[in-house]
Amino acid sequence: MERLRRVRELEPALWRILPEAGVSTRDVQRLARENGLLFAPDPGASEQSQIGGNVATNAGGPHALKYGVTGAWVAGLEAVLAPGELVDVGGWGGKDVAGYDIKSLLVGSEGTLGLITAVRLRLLPAPERAIPLVVFLRTRADGCAAIADVFASGQQPSVLDFLDGEALAICSAGYPSAEERTSDARGQARAACRTRPASR
């Protein structure tokens, strides 16, 4: 898919883009953002993940909570089937319900039914603003109750993560403590002073 890196169409006024399968997720997100639009699916490593692979695996990501997985954004696609036949399925039409839904069959098929070469993606107007919010609560039960309260209020967050104390403790083991960071910074400063040539 390395050669399939073109964006064949970008129509901001119609909220749509047609990238080839090798275009990175990050590039699709950037093009959308530069035009006041949003492509929300955000699987990990967006600079490496490619649109064709995201569609083939129906990849998700944190924003799937509000916006759905990649398949929800696919209007149509181009694929090569086993005998070598190039097919174009789906389309830009909002009500494209005639015949079998081959597009949805190929989304998530992981290349077993065909190799995706290009994808018609829907875009949305970008939100006016995003408000990050971090909440600390004493117990897991309080955390779960807070999540339930958010959904019961009718609010629909675009991303919602929950970490309890044990999970934070496990994650923090991979990061240096404040004392280790301070000690390391002092050591680097001393080493820099030792290697600096004396001024005349």
Q: Is residue 200's pLDDT more than 60?
A: no
| Alpha-carbon distances of 129 from 15, 25, 126, 132, rounded to whole Å | 19, 21, 8, 10
pLDDT tens-digit profile of 141-160?
999 999 999 999 998 899 98
- Rounded to the nearest angstrom, the gap between the alpha carbon of residue 181 and the centroid of all alpha carbons in its chain is 31
What is this structure's pTM?
0.79
Least Cα distance to 121 among 3, 23, 1 occurs for: 23
pLDDT of residue 177: 74
pLDDT tens-digit profile of 99-125?
788 999 999 999 999 999 999 999 999
Q: Are 160 and 150 in contact (CB under 8 A)?
A: yes
In this structure, are strands 124-125 and 37-38 parallel, antiparallel, or unpaired?
A: antiparallel
